Amino acid sequence: MKLISKLIKLTAANEKPAPVRTLANSVGNYCISLHSQPERLKETRRQLKFYGLDLEHFPAVPSKEVTERITRKERVMPIANGCLQSHIDLYKQILASHKPDAAEGRPYVAVFEDDIVALSTLNQLDDHFARLPGDWDFVYLGGNYHFHKPVILDEHLIRPVFALSTHAQLIRIDFLPLLIQELEKKAFEVDVVFARLQEAGIGRWYGFTIDFFWQHGRTSASYTSLWRHQIGEFHFATANGVIDQVIIRNYLP
């Protein structure tokens, strides 16, 4: 398997872009982050502040404090229990603050984890978002691992069919009750719950043919980016703010 590596700079250093309307128009931009790791929240806020966006901190639940754990038979990383409970608690808080109201249309929230890497493509999000069908429930903002190849709808949009990641997404308020219901079964990790809903055709899930966020490489994880001409792309963000991009051809069927 042939690997091609290259370094990509994230943003121009001396010029701030206009605020991203897609995120500014959400009813909230939330970041799940542990109190014990304030530097990660600070870095996440710094990245989005560059694009004129503020974040509301939601304290993550430490896995050691979770009493009802994920029950799947396969081995589950301990951190997954805290991640799942954090998403449940945040979604419930959002619902308590923003009740779905048909008169307001279908408002949405942006949910981030504190290991995002904002890409310079973020200034293109508004144009891509405008192309979404109005029926969307959940939108991935990039850096996904596509366990199964997504459906390419056009040059801008995809429909994920089994995508894994939870670090950057948009969610309709009226879709949160279903997500809470499924997550509270504690049968799988949060991203696997999402992927299984996609696989079952429950909800209207979308993504884009370019990434706006990747996940930081400090987690020792890699995520397949979007499919460009049948090429799967893995991205690793290093601590010095540079992206190491590895392109792997024919990685998945």
Residue 126 within a domain? yes
Please report, for the domain that includes residue 143, its CATH number.
Answer: 3.90.550
Q: How many domains, in total, are found in the chain?
A: 1
What is the value of pTM for the model shown? Answer: 0.83
Residue 116 within a domain? yes
Residue 72 within a domain? yes
Q: Is the separation of the CB atoms in 108 and 27 below 8 Å?
A: yes
Residue 101 within a domain? yes
Helices and strands: H and E segment counts in the chain: 6, 16
Residue 252 within a domain? no
Model pLDDT for residues 180-237, shown as the tens digit of each residue? 999 999 999 999 999 999 999 999 999 998 889 888 765 444 444 443 323 344 444 4
Asked if the model's pLDDT at residue 89 lies above 80, the reply is: yes
Model pLDDT for residues 10-66, shown as the tens digit of each residue? 443 446 777 899 999 999 999 999 999 999 999 999 999 998 899 999 999 999 999
Residue 94 within a domain? yes
Report CA-CA distances (Å) from 145 to 101, 128, 209, 233. 33, 20, 13, 9
In which domain, by residue range, is 127 found? 16-218
Q: Is the separation of the CB atoms in 174 and 204 below 8 Å?
A: no
Rounded CA gap, 218 and 215, in Å? 9
Report residue 73's pLDDT band, with 50, 70 and 90 as the boundaries: confident
Q: How high does pLDDT run on average in the chain?
A: 81
